[in-house]
Structures are given as structure tokens and as C-alpha cells.
A = this chain, B = another copy of it.
Amino acid sequence: MGRPNLQIALDNSDLPTALAAVSAVGEIVDIVEAGTVLILQVGDESVKCLRALFPEKIIVADTKCADAGGTVAGNVRKAGANWMTCICSATIATMKAAAKEVEQIQVELYGDWTYELAQKWLEAGITQAIYHQSRDALLAGETWGEKDLTAVKELIKMGFKVSVTGGLEVETLKLFEGIDVYTFITGRGITGADNPVQAATEFKNEIIRIWGE
């Protein structure tokens, strides 16, 4: 079992705020994500700036692409993204078209996806999935539970590299002890902290404490 990555998601609504948020902690995390909110507001300039600031990091464009996979993926690749997300309700054809343009596609699991469908993604060569607690679901009072952990384990068993995200705090990580999580994604858990550098360091230290170096 490897050490899970730590990914920071930038879901700010403007570029200066996003850059301020990431500038201090970008080198602490493993992966930097241009969040959907940021991309919808700023466009590919957001990805270009992150690539310029962090030339050696993995940059993810969280497009949640549902269609026109080849075009969207080609665009974010040109902007400097390594990975890109597709929404689970995108067709296999869309995912395949996107996969030709970027290094990795990550399927964002929202709503009523099925394991049968997930098997088709694997067969299409898509090996990364993102298990999500919706921000709006969290606001409605839902949180990480046994149902979520079971789903994460099942996806890993199927062969996916599984990232988990949604309302993660340092204290949440131990829920995943013993599970081969690929990446923990957090936004406000770091950027919203009083001391983001301290928060990022605490996330990283807790990951190392549980999963080792």
C-alpha cells in the first residue's frame, strides 16, 4: 500500500484569490487542481498559471467533462494539464476521446453511477475514479460514513486508483486507515484554514503517520 497523494483543489471564483491560496502550499502538496468553479470563471488561463507556477507538479483540470471530450481535453492539455476529470454520466465515447489527449482521465462519481458502468470505464482504459461527497450534500448535513468507505474499497478492489474528496479534514483521514486510497483531495480544508501552510503540513503528516513515508 503506497502513501496516498495530497491534492489541493482551487475552487476560487477568481484567479488572484486562487493564486494567493496556492502560492504558499503548492510545494507541500503532490497535486494541484484547477477546480471547476475556477475554470468556469477564469478559463484555461487558470491552468496555464498553475503550470507556470508549479512546473514539476501534476496539474489536474477539474472540467467534469460531459461531452466533446477530445476538444476539452486537447484544450486543457495545451494549457498544461496532466490529468482531467470527466463526469460519470459522460458516454464511454467521450471518455475515450478525452483519454487520447491527456495523460490520465479521472471519472468523477456523482449521482447514481453503478459498478456495471464502472467496469466499462476500466475496460475503456480509464483507471482513476474520484469518490465524492458533494459539497451541497455536505451542506445539507451528510458526511463520510460506512456506505462511502465500502464504495471506495469496492472501487479499489475493481482496479481503480481512487481519490476521495468532499469535506475532508485532518481528523477525517483516519477513517480511511487500511484502505489503499490513491489521493486525498481537499480545498477549503487547506485554503480556508487560518494557517494554510500549517493545515497542508498537518494533512501531509497525518497521511504519513497512517500510511508511512
How many copies of this chain does the complex contain?
2
Most buried by B among A42, A67, A71: A67
> B37, B68, B70: which contacts A36 (Cβ < 8 A)?
B68
Beta-carbon nearest neighbor of A138 in chain B: B93
**Separation of A36 and B86 alpha carbons in the complex (Å):** 13
Q: A66, B64: Cβ atoms under 8 Å?
A: yes
In which size bucket is the chain A interface? 35 or more
Beta-carbon nearest neighbor of A92 in chain B: B136
Q: B137, A91: Cβ atoms under 8 Å?
A: yes
> B11, B37, B89, B140: which contacts A111 (Cβ < 8 A)?
B89
Chain B residues with Cβ below 8 Å from A97 are 136, 139
Chain A residues with CB under 8 Å of chain B are 11, 13, 36-37, 39-46, 63-72, 75-76, 87-91, 93-94, 96-97, 108, 110-114, 117, 132, 134-137, 139-140
